[in-house]
Chains A and B, each alone.
Chain A
Amino acid sequence: MAPLEVSGLDVSSRVRARDIQMAGVADIRRHVLMISGAIDTVDHDVSVCINLPEPGRWQIIKSETNLTDRTWVAMQATTDEDSVFVDDAEHLVMSRQFSKSFITPDQRRLTFHGGEVRPGEAVVKMYSLETTSRRPVYAYSRYSPVVTDSPDMTAKTVEQLVAEGLPQRPVIEVIVPVTVIG
């Protein structure tokens, strides 16, 4: 596809909607949203905008394939001001690849750790999001260990990142189309 001639409208460097397939399906009766996709960037965080059929509390089941050449040992998601992660006993926060999760007291940051997602592998996460908006936005980032770090150093770094959060990096924006069922 030829690049756009109008520079102001050329968002190809920051908006990924075609080459990285990320799509969702929402069961409006059960308020369950399933999203699948892939990530191929190592230098950027990803900002996801979901088109929900209605605001409220949604259980999200998300699968992402690691298309990078790095292993992810921690994943962090951060919500916008209109959304929070639900943190109570009735709502599961879990992942097949990560054994631990941490939600901050303001419930706007969720970090999965205690596991790994190798290149080519897919990660599955489940959590609940409460939002007052129909178009909630959340950003997520991954941490890959430095090759020269020992396992102890990596564990210490991950522990610190869980407590303090991952540093912010340039962001790729993704708009996730959602198909409504039910």
Chain B
Amino acid sequence: MREFVVRAERGAVGFLPVRALISTGATATWPRQARVALKLVAPEDPACAEAADEPDGGPPAGSVQPYDLYRMPYRDWVTATLREVARAWLDQVGPCCVDVVDADLLDEGSKLFFVTLAGLAEEQITVRCPVGDATGPPGPAPAVTSFRERRIERLVAEEGELRGEEADFLYGQAVGYLLAGDGWTAERLLRAVVRQRPTPAVWVKLRAACALLGRPVDAGQPAGPGPSGIPGQRSAPEAGARDGEPRAWQPPAGGPEHATGGPARPADPTGRRPLRLRSGWERLQEWSETAGQIPKNAVHRALFAIAERTVFHAYETYDDPADPLVFFVRVKGSLVLKIRFRDLDTFEIVHVGTLGEAPGIGRGIDRAA
């Protein structure tokens, strides 16, 4: 049985130990779905595949897609995405044992990954959390960090005021992580940006990241860098654990839900508020000038379904392969709505009209067929 050792480090960019672990395999040979999911943990890996580039026949049934982030509860989406990555890596390396050194420093995303990995197949994988340095032949897999990530870490740790371009860079990176579905990294970066640039745009993105994670925006940094707040400082080992003695991975009580350290979900099973129509109202008004009351009622009903996030259950919908944030709703007969998610809480009407007039719907129908 192969053995791997990875070391957790506290940092702003998440999934560092996960990247170190998967770098022991060859991601370029992974199945396509795993390479699509890879974008969450290793966005700079050249093997990452875009869901939009789906070659033939669309994604396999049951596979999770990046745009599903807007359709299913975040925790479910992240878990399913991490499972794709974990499965691909495990299939490649075979039965193995993974030691996570300094597991108390694991970021929330990485913690969820190792919980998911440990739950894949008990006979194939053992994940342990030795306290102190791991013993055994292999040394820790080298951390995989890029220049971009090192710059992010430096700017987030910067105590002085960021220059304009530095804040722009950090904000742009945070938005990128947010769109990729890494709410934890996005939140850490946005909290660093909002300290110096508390503009509405930054607050909106920070609120979106917190909404994704299901916690209030004013909850503060959920997992501080250490007991004293100094980056890199470790917290005391758990009582009963002796230095150097590995202990088997025990998912925290409550399973992956609690493993991320976030608060309990709200009573709403989706954990989401209703979506708001942000723009495109003028398109609806323009169309309404000539439309009859029956199709108008049908469109209003569909818009309420979108706002309530039930549209994917209640209506026939098509994706736009060119843009994962866009989808079409077949409202009634040949009447369709084209909708774009602007962020996690808002959407806009891109088009309302007949099937033949909807720009780009041919691609979506071809894909669905």
Contact = CB atoms under 8 A, between A and B. Distances in A.
Interface of A: 81-84, 106-108, 130-132
Contacts of A130: 292-294
A84 B295 CA distance: 10
7 contacts: A81-B294, A81-B297, A81-B298, A81-B301, A84-B294, A130-B292, A130-B293
A106 B293 contact: yes
7 closest pairs, A vs B, by CB? Answer: A84-B293, A107-B293, A106-B297, A84-B294, A132-B294, A82-B294, A108-B297
B300 interface: yes
A130 B296 CA distance: 13
Contacts of A81: 294, 297-298, 301, 332
Nearest to A105: B293
Contacts of A107: 293, 297
Chain B, interface SS category: helix
Nearest to B301: A81
A132 B298 CA distance: 12
A159 B103 CA distance: 67
A130 B295 CA distance: 12
A43 B293 CA distance: 32
Interface in B253-304: 292-294, 296-298, 300-301
Contacts of A84: 292-294, 297
A84 B332 CA distance: 15
Nearest to A133: B294
Q: How large is the interface on B (under 10, 10 to 19, 20 to 34, 35 or more residues)?
A: under 10
Interface of B: 292-294, 296-298, 300-301, 332
Given A81-B301, A106-B296, 10 more contacts: A81-B332, A83-B294, A84-B293, A84-B294, A84-B297, A106-B293, A106-B297, A108-B297, A130-B293, A131-B294
A84 B298 CA distance: 11
A182 B297 CA distance: 33
Nearest to B332: A81
B91 to A, nearest CB: 49
A180 to B, nearest CB: 23
A83 B301 CA distance: 14
A131 B332 CA distance: 14
B335 to A, nearest CB: 11
B97 to A, nearest CB: 60
A107 B298 CA distance: 12
B254 to A, nearest CB: 41
B298 A106 contact: no
Contacts of A106: 293, 296-297, 300
A84 B292 CA distance: 10
B303 to A, nearest CB: 13
A82 B298 CA distance: 9
Contacts of B298: 81
Contacts of B293: 84, 106-107, 130
Contacts of A83: 294
A178 B332 CA distance: 27
A81 B297 CA distance: 8
Contacts of B296: 106
Most buried by A among B297, B298, B301, B332: B297
Contacts of B301: 81
A81 B300 CA distance: 12
Contacts of B292: 84, 130
B174 to A, nearest CB: 42
A108 B296 CA distance: 12
Contacts of B300: 106
A130 B300 CA distance: 18
Most buried by A among B292, B294, B297: B294
A152 B89 CA distance: 76
A130 B294 CA distance: 9
B265 to A, nearest CB: 33
Nearest to B298: A81
Contacts of B297: 81, 84, 106-108
B266 to A, nearest CB: 30
B63 to A, nearest CB: 35
A131 B295 CA distance: 11
B2 to A, nearest CB: 61
A81 B301 CA distance: 10
Nearest to A132: B294
A81 B292 CA distance: 13
B334 to A, nearest CB: 12
Contacts of A82: 294
Contacts of B332: 81
